[in-house]
Amino acid sequence: MDKLLREQNSILFQKILAIADKGRFDDAYLQALIEFWQLRPENETEGNIFYALYAKAHGNYQVALEYALKAYARRKINWTLWCILRDCYYALGDIERAALFAAKADKFYNEPVTLSIPQNRLSSAMDALSLGMGRGIYAPTAYTRMRYTSQGMTGDRAIFAGEFLPDFSREEEYHLFSAAYVETELQDDKGKLLEFIKDDGEMSFISGGDFTYDLLKLAERGDKCRIDVAEAPVIVGLVGKNVHQQVDFVSHTGKAMSYLGKWANSFFRLEETTEISSTEGVLCTAPIVLKHSPKRCKAVINVLLDGLCWRAVQEQNYELVPHLLEFFRQGVIFSNHYSVSEYTYPSVATIETGLYPYHSQIFNDKAYHTLNAEYKSISERMHDLGYYCVNIMGDSAGSYNGTMRGYDRLIVNCCGGTPLHIGVERTINHLEAFSETDQFIFLHAGNSHLWSAHNYQLPLNTQTKLSIWQRSLKEEEEKTSVHLDKRDIYLHWNREGIKACDTHMARLIEYIQNNYAEDEYLLTVYSDHGSPIYDNSPYLLSEHQNSAAFMMRGHGVPQLGFADELTSAVDIYPALGRCLGFAADNIDGNLPLALGGKKRDYVVSMSMYPPSPYTICLRTSDYECQAASRTCIDEDGRADLAEMKVEVYCRDNGEKIESQAVHDYFTRLLQQEIREIDDFGTQWPNMRAARPEWFAERR
């Protein structure tokens, strides 16, 4: 039945394509489209694309845009769809969004940008082209910064610096401004350095040796602005536009003056209504009201320990994490927690949204796009509750894709320079500085994440404790972190990183316990994925690769100690929602039983990494089902799943299971979990033709 339906679906799809290719958008086209739409609910997105083509062909650009946006909400990467959006936006006068989609089609599929751009829209259109030509990671780096010169349009690597990050996804009063992070040092030097490197292609590619950026939500206020102070004092951040910029303050009490550093933020406490002015312009944050609410915690802290494999910690009897163990035993430690993805970019998005990658559409970092507005990230929920939200340390990926858009401030590095001891120091300083308001802080540290030793500096202790033979790379090919082998060099490195995490977390824990009552804070520690080095398994979604940490203590958390139920990365969102009082609807996550929800029957891990095969692993308490497509996944996150390779194993001993009943059970689960990944015979031929090397095995 499934095979016949798949064939019928493919025939209808190809029929509509053939009619469209001939430019015959007539009744026959509509009739075929109606049949296609009605055949399967999953055909909705392709159907919307086809109807948008029909409306555009008849000159109804507004209707075409309406249906194209319906499709785009579900499918961020599609060549035909991008071209429809480009043409519709251009016809309706939205030059910038037209440029954005034109750039995507050019970057991915080499369709040249041919838009005629008015002179007064060139600057904003170049920003849009830069985003479209770029990637979803490494903000504020621009992989291709487009500029219009006397020689025409050019593009090179650069950094959005000393300016607002371009964003055409939403209209808001405050926007992210790209500044230099300056803390207790000469005010102007980092801004000068950033200006020096921002347009140098080679230096910008490495972010000036991993420069630390301060991305703040600011508003341009002209030469002066008035900050009203009512029931409580406020703090405002001001960013200098130029070197040693003078700023003046006038209030009922009198006058004051200070200086700002170039592209550097400085905070000021205002205790009465104040006028702020500068002849060089005022860039100002929203006022931070210094007031607590009984409906909020004083401090909510999320700590992401990147790549920490919890199963490896358990196998070593928690000897690597004595401080974490002692503290979180008086909260909840989820012993069987699993990541959805195998690496950081989609994993962080999954945690921040509570959505699987095919729902958030954040899985392919080669493409720039933002999270749908209807999906609220954790930081947006916290901002709506009234918290001052700060990403105190992170890798900047969420700044472009929208998963971090609720943060008022993001202190980030593009290239992974995020050691936990610095993050803890920043966190404690921030908790002290803003102690009069309720804070939400996110800290993303990289100590426990491994990289190839071919190009990454080893921890000092690993350098000195291992022999040159243990460290030798003579027989090792350079690999990505998800494919590293079990070797002394990586085992020692990873254990050192995990121990360092525990040591530095001990300082933060001590501060929390000394300054907050149990119901005044919530500390959540988790990891985004594990590490393959502990079992040498060739399987991409192995136990150690997907085993992750998840523990909570503080407000709303019962003192249960270890909880053995299965939990997933998508469950962190509803867990926080239950403890803090925000809605956790329209997500894929499940509230764990330990927090008043229900037990999961199984957890899902998946790999969506074009052009690799689509891989999925379903884990129950007893079994592990491993399934993969026989061909690669396309740029749009879909694959032909007609004949997947499926194997089931016993989790405790690895024995292969032949039971038909068990296989039937997992077949039903797989059909449910892969419905939105399976292209079901609707792979777009133009996209496939653009990647001949990917699909060569099917020719």
Rounded Cα–Cα distance for residues 438 and 269 (Å): 16
Phi, psi of 423 (to 5 degrees): -60, -40
Exposed, middle or buried by CB within 10 Å (0-12, 13-18, 19+), for 469?
A: exposed
Looking at the DSSP bridge assignments, the partners of residue 156 are 145
Rounded Cα–Cα distance for residues 486 and 103 (Å): 42
Residue 153 lies in a domain: no
Between 54-63, 144-153, 361-370, 585-594, the lowest mean confidence (pLDDT) is in: 144-153
Mean pLDDT of 10-16: 97
Residue 165 lies in a domain: no
What's the pLDDT tens digit per position in 532-556?
A: 999 988 999 999 999 999 999 999 9
Residue 141 lies in a domain: no
What's the pLDDT tens digit per position in 348-378?
A: 999 999 999 999 999 999 999 999 999 999 9
Same domain flag for 593 and 692: no
What's the pLDDT tens digit per position in 83-122?
A: 999 999 999 999 999 999 999 999 999 999 999 999 999 9
Same domain flag for 621 and 477: no
Please give the pLDDT value at position 153: 86
Question: Would the pLDDT of 417 be above 80?
Answer: no
Shortest CA distance to 574 belongs to which of 338, 381, 361? 381
Measure the N-to-C terminal CA separation of the chain; round to a whole number of Å.
26
Same domain flag for 560 and 623: no
CATH number of the domain where residue 101 is located:
1.25.40.10
How open is the CA angle 311-313-314, to the nearest 5 degrees? 65
What's the pLDDT tens digit per position in 201-220?
A: 888 878 777 899 999 999 99
> Which residues are CB-neighbours of 608 under 8 A, at least 6 positions away?
341, 346, 357, 358, 363, 364, 614, 633, 637, 677
Name residue, tokens 């959805």.
340
Residue 158 lies in a domain: no
Quickly state the pLDDT bin for 169 (edges 50, 70, 90). Answer: confident
Cβ 621 vs Cβ 566: under 8 Å: yes
Q: Own/partner pairs for 514-519, CB < 8 Å, 24+ apart?
A: 515/431, 516/298, 516/299, 516/554, 518/554, 518/555, 519/297, 519/554, 519/555
Please give the pLDDT value at position 2: 84
- Which structural domain range is residue 511 located in? 299-600
Cβ 354 vs Cβ 584: under 8 Å: yes
Rounded Cα–Cα distance for residues 187 and 238 (Å): 13
Cβ 412 vs Cβ 211: under 8 Å: no
Same domain flag for 223 and 276: yes
Same domain flag for 336 and 260: no
Please give the pLDDT value at position 171: 84
Cβ 283 vs Cβ 164: under 8 Å: no
Please give the pLDDT value at position 374: 96
Same domain flag for 434 and 310: yes
Residue 420 CA, chain-centre distance (Å), reads: 20
SS3 content of the chain, % helix, strand, coil (to 5): 40, 25, 40
Same domain flag for 364 and 435: yes
Residue 539 lies in a domain: yes
Exposed, middle or buried by CB within 10 Å (0-12, 13-18, 19+), for 467?
A: exposed
Looking at the DSSP bridge assignments, the partners of residue 566 are 336
Select from 547, 570, 600 the last residue of a domain. 600
Question: Would the pLDDT of 197 be above 80?
Answer: yes
* E strand segments, 151-199: 152-159, 163-164, 175-180
Residue 459's alpha-carbon distances to 130, 462, 466, 492, in angstroms, are 37, 5, 11, 9
Same domain flag for 16 and 81: yes
Same domain flag for 282 and 330: no
What's the pLDDT tens digit per position in 599-626?
A: 999 999 999 999 999 999 999 999 999 9
Residue 255 vs residue 643, higher pLDDT: 255
Shortest CA distance to 410 belongs to which of 263, 216, 262? 216
Residue 288 gets the label, from left (phi > 0), alpha (psi -120 to 50) or beta, of beta
Shortest CA distance to 454 belongs to which of 426, 474, 436? 474
Same domain flag for 201 and 91: no
Select from 600, 635, 663 the last residue of a domain. 600
615-629 as b/e: b if 16+ CB within 10 A: bbbbbbeebbbbbbb
Residue 586 lies in a domain: yes
Residue 512 vs residue 455, higher pLDDT: 512
Residue 428 lies in a domain: yes
Cβ 584 vs Cβ 639: under 8 Å: no
CATH number of the domain where residue 229 is located:
2.60.120
Mean pLDDT of 65-89: 98
Cβ 407 vs Cβ 389: under 8 Å: yes
Residue 546 lies in a domain: yes
DSSP state of 637: S
Which amino acid type is present at position 506? A
Residue 539's alpha-carbon distances to 23, 311, 543, 607, in angstroms, are 47, 16, 9, 11
Same domain flag for 435 and 511: yes
Quickly state the pLDDT bin for 445 (edges 50, 70, 90). Answer: very high
Q: Please state the length of the chain.
A: 699
Give the torsion through C-alpha atoms of 430, 431, 436, 439, to 10 deg: 90
Compute the Cα dihedral for 57, 63, 64, 65 and give only its sign: positive
CATH number of the domain where residue 377 is located:
3.40.720.10
Q: Look up residue 166 and give its two tokens.
A: 């371009």
Same domain flag for 545 and 469: yes
Domain count, the chain: 4
Which amino acid type is present at position 639? A
Quickly state the pLDDT bin for 699 (edges 50, 70, 90). Answer: very low
Select from 237, 259, 289 the last residue of a domain. 289
Mean pLDDT of 164-182: 94
Arithmetic mean of pLDDT over the chain? 96
CB atoms within 10 A of CB 194: 24
Helix (H/G/I), strand (E/B), else coil: 440: strand
Please give the pLDDT value at position 698: 44
Shortest CA distance to 288 belongs to which of 402, 174, 171? 174
Rounded Cα–Cα distance for residues 670 and 628 (Å): 11
